[in-house]
């Protein structure tokens, strides 16, 4: 039936019958676009033309299609799975060399996705350090939309996800496809529109020259492509991915476990660590309600700056003469867990490890080694490097009761060559997964955060080994609103580290009120990264109230359904709604001065129109701290009132007069 409905006429100046946009489009079939699998044997046997050998249906809506190409002597296995609870498709392509000689692999994408012609808008991702997950809308065009990443990690500037949608699509309605490649290394996103009126999307791993070849009977499997489609807008698309992450990618040991409020020492102390100041910070962190104390960079041997020490994972006795035990005991006495920052994949030339093993780093001779942040990248594909790093981490976790690791990676892999001169980014990524897997197996209770100069390693692949993602090193609350919006397109709130930074942001220099800084951090895995010893009592009081508010509502925030509201560029608004629609929490932020003297209306979404909701303004506290005119604002009369879901969604709430960079949080209960 589907083939019948797709019958096409012969296109002038083209083949009588066009090659299909198959799961892996083939050169041998006459496909004129980008072939899904591109291989050769010394320049021959490059034209793939496969035929299906078997189709098998497995449990849980999973399908395997095995095809063979006699000419190139390869076997392809396409695996497709559809999760009924989330409506998320998972798809991969496995390539096996069934010939007698080595097979060179230039490309093996995940299955290609045909795109309807009226899905003429592309919502991609761009960014940089401290400004990740920026949405990049592009009108689809005849030709190729291409984003490539060669950073050796997921990257800050080219997140491996894309949304393709129709002209009419917004947050609340309209048709869209969402596609994400679950891979923490190099990748390529390609969307082609052909002149014959067809379009398709391809996502796959990107290889350096000669990086991947297969010996006889050896196989390669592409990263998994995760896809979802909806006719109900971008927020509904995100909820599909959120449900999938919660049910399939969140480790079972985290089920039902509350995500603890962090205090992280980095922006409070940087490298200037002393036990006395750390204890004072622990006192203040406990006072404001933190539940986990994370000691960031600077704790290990010779680490007085970022110029030395990486690779030498033993405690610096000049700072901690008796090790970390007394500090950890002090933190535990304050009813907080203890966490620790590490960056295992890197080494400083000024380190005992590098002086002993200068050959353990990735390189590209005869080019000189490229330093970045005064560090080089260890070759994790070497067994001795893997064992050394695992043993260092294992000793730390056995010696001390550490509940949490912030696993960082602070540079791009610019020269991904091993000792034999071969590019190994693919194998480096697999080796990272293996190292993380070993650590988790040996210490299953330890939670691990994926950090890479902020959001440089955020994808569904790394979620198989970690429990939290750090989206950005910027704690600027206004920047965080856009970063967290982009992050939410594919990731749920409980995975998103969201910290309250200092009044004057260390990265942007912008000064933002404590009410707004805390109001933004409420809606993730909340933490604090400001110097509490420099806060006055008023600021600490507001922070304490915000932490208590987060704890009160984190069950909803970390399990509810996200709805983002369509707003102007001057505003940011979203809500998180309980599955039964009997409770919700909404945020509204004014980023810049409004165009009109009075504000417009906030129209909620996702509520049950037949339910009466008690509307409470829970932030800032008190709500009257929002500046207004001399007359009463709606905040003075609406707080605690009962309003129908129908009225809240269709008529909306008149917003008060607000100053830029201020924020409101509404709590609704049936």
Q: In terms of domains, do 293 and 146 share one?
A: no
pLDDT digits (tens, 9 = 90+) for 247-257: 999 999 998 89
Full residue range of the structural domain in which residue 588 is found: 565-669
Question: What count of Cα atoms within 13 Å lies in the side-chain half-sphere of residue 69?
Answer: 25
pLDDT, position 621: 81
Dihedral Cα 466, 472, 473, 477, nearest 10 deg: -130
Q: Which residues pair with 82 in a beta bridge?
A: 89
Overall average pLDDT of the 644-665 stretch: 96
Q: Judging by DSSP bridges, how do beta strands 404-407 and 376-377 pair with one another?
A: unpaired
Rg (C-alpha) for the chain, rounded Å, is: 26
pLDDT digits (tens, 9 = 90+) for 41-51: 999 999 999 99
Q: In terms of domains, do 166 and 303 share one?
A: no
User: Distance (Å, rounded) from C-alpha 234 to C-alpha 133?
Assistant: 15
CB 423 within 8 A of CB 212: no
Residue 312 among the catalytic residues: no
Tokens of 419: 């000792």
User: Distance (Å, rounded) from C-alpha 370 to C-alpha 246?
Assistant: 40
Confidence of residue 634 (pLDDT cuts 50, 70, 90): confident
Say which residue the tokens 């006889």 belong to: 216
Say which CATH number the domain at 372 has.
3.20.20.70
Q: Judging by DSSP bridges, how do beta strands 212-214 and 176-182 pair with one another?
A: unpaired
pLDDT digits (tens, 9 = 90+) for 221-254: 999 999 999 999 999 999 999 999 999 999 999 9
Q: Which residues pair with 337 in a beta bridge?
A: 292
pLDDT, position 320: 97
User: Distance (Å, rounded) from C-alpha 564 to C-alpha 605?
Assistant: 8
pLDDT, position 596: 85
Nearest to 375 by CA among 353, 397, 393: 353
pLDDT digits (tens, 9 = 90+) for 462-510: 999 999 999 999 999 999 999 999 999 999 999 999 999 999 999 999 9
Say which residue the tokens 């795109």 belong to: 115
Q: Judging by DSSP bridges, how do beta strands 74-83 and 62-69 pair with one another?
A: antiparallel
Q: In terms of domains, do 156 and 292 share one?
A: no
Q: In terms of domains, do 613 and 477 share one?
A: no
Tokens of 356: 């002993």
Q: In terms of domains, do 318 and 395 share one?
A: yes
Q: In terms of domains, do 329 and 458 share one?
A: yes
Alpha-carbon 664 to chain mean position: 26
Nearest to 285 by CA among 265, 259, 256, 304: 265
Say which residue the tokens 């050169």 belong to: 27
| Non-local CB neighbours of 505 within 8 Å, separated by 6+ positions | 474, 475, 476, 511, 512
pLDDT digits (tens, 9 = 90+) for 185-207: 999 999 999 999 999 999 999 99
Asked if pLDDT for residue 624 goes beyond 70, the answer is no
What is the DSSP-derived secondary structure letter of residue 582?
S
CB 81 within 8 A of CB 192: no
Tokens of 107: 């490309």
Distances (CA, A) of 189 to 76, 183, 278, 310, 653: 21, 12, 45, 34, 41
Residue 316 among the catalytic residues: no
Q: In terms of domains, do 393 and 411 share one?
A: yes
Q: To which H or E segment does residue 295 belong?
A: strand 292-295
Q: In terms of domains, do 190 and 288 share one?
A: no
Q: To which H or E segment does residue 268 belong?
A: helix 266-269
Q: In terms of domains, do 370 and 339 share one?
A: yes
Model-level pTM?
A: 0.97
Overall average pLDDT of the 383-387 stretch: 98
Q: In terms of domains, do 155 and 70 share one?
A: yes
Tokens of 117: 């012609």
Total domains present in the chain:
3
Asked if pLDDT for residue 623 goes beyond 70, the answer is no
pLDDT, position 13: 87
Q: Lowest mean pLDDT: which of 206-220, 425-439, 591-605?
A: 591-605
Q: Judging by DSSP bridges, how do beta strands 224-230 and 88-97 pair with one another?
A: antiparallel
Q: In terms of domains, do 525 and 652 share one?
A: no
Nearest to 206 by CA among 220, 221, 188: 188
Say which CATH number the domain at 60 has.
2.70.98.60
- Out of 473, 476, 479, 525, the active site residue is 473
- Out of 87, 192, 296, 408, the active site residue is 408
């Amino acid at each position: 039936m589907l083939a019948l409905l797709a019958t096409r006429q012969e296109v002038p100046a083209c083949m009588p019958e066009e090659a299909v946009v198959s799961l892996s489009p083939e050169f041998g079939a006459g496909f004129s676009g980008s072939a899904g699998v591109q291989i050769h044997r010394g320049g021959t046997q490059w034209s793939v033309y496969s035929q299906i050998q078997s189709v098998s249906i497995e449990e849980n809506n999973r399908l395997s299609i095995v095809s063979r190409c006699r000419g190139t002597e390869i076997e392809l296995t396409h695996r497709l799975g559809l999760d009924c609870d989330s409506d998320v498709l998972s798809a991969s392509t496995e390539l096996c060399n069934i010939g007698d000689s080595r097979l060179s692999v230039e490309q093996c994408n995940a299955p290609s996705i045909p795109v309807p012609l009226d899905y003429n808008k592309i919502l991609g991702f761009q960014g940089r350090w401290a400004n990740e997950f920026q949405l990049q809308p592009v009108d689809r065009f005849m030709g190729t939309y291409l984003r490539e990443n060669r950073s050796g990690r997921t990257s800050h500037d080219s997140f491996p996800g894309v949304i393709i949608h129709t002209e009419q699509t917004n947050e609340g309605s309209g048709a869209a496809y969402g596609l994400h490649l679950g891979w923490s290394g190099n990748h390529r996103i390609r969307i082609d529109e052909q002149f014959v009126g067809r379009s398709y999307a391809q996502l796959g791993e990107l290889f350096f020259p000669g990086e991947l070849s297969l010996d006889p009977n050896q196989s390669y499997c592409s990263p998994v492509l995760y896809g979802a489609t909806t006719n109900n807008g971008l927020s509904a698309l995100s909820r599909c991915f959120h449900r999938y992450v919660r049910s399939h990618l969140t480790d079972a040991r985290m089920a039902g476990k509350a995500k603890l409020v962090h205090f992280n020492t980095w922006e409070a102390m940087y490298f200037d660590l002393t036990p006395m100041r750390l204890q004072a910070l622990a006192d203040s962190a406990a006072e404001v309600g933190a539940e986990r104390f994370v000691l960031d960079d600077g704790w290990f041997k010779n680490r007085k700056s970022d110029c030395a020490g990486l690779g030498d994972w033993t405690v610096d006795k000049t700072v901690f003469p008796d090790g970390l035990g007394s500090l950890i005991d002090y933190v535990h006495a304050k009813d907080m867990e203890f966490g620790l920052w590490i960056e295992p994949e890197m080494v400083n030339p000024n380190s005992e490890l590098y002086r002993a093993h200068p050959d353990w780093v990735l390189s590209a001779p005869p080019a000189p080694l490229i330093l970045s942040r005064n560090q080089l990248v260890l070759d994790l594909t070497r067994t001795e490097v893997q064992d050394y790093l695992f043993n260092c981490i294992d000793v730390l976790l056995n010696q001390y009761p550490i509940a949490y690791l912030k696993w960082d990676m602070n540079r791009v892999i610019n020269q991904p060559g091993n000792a034999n001169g071969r590019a190994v980014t693919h194998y480096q990524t697999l080796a990272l997964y293996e190292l993380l897997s070993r650590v988790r197996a040996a210490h299953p209770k330890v939670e691990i955060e994926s950090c890479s100069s902020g959001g440089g390693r955020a994808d569904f692949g790394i979620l198989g080994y970690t429990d939290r993602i750090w989206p950005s090193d910027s704690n600027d609350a206004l920047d965080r609103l856009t970063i967290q919006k982009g992050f939410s397109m594919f990731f749920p709130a409980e995975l998103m580290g969201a910290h309250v930074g200092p009044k004057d942001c260390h990265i942007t220099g912008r000064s933002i009120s404590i009410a707004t800084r805390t109001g933004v951090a409420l809606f993730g895995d909340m933490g604090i990264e400001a110097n509490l010893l420099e806060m006055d009592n008023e600021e600490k009081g507001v922070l304490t109230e915000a932490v208590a508010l987060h704890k009160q509502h984190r069950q909803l925030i970390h399990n509810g359904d996200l709805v983002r509201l369509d707003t102007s560029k001057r505003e940011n608004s979203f809500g998180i709604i309980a599955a039964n629609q009997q409770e919700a929490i909404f945020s509204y932020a004014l980023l810049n001065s409004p165009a009109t003297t009075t504000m417009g209306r906030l129209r909620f979404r996702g509520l049950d129109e037949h339910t009466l909701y008690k509307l409470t303004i829970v932030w800032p506290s008190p709500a009257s701290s929002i500046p207004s005119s001399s007359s009463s604002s709606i905040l003075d009369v609406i707080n605690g009132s009962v309003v129908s879901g129908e009225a809240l969604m269709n008529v909306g709430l008149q917003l008060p007069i607000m100053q830029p960079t201020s924020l409101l949080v509404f709590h609704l209960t049936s």
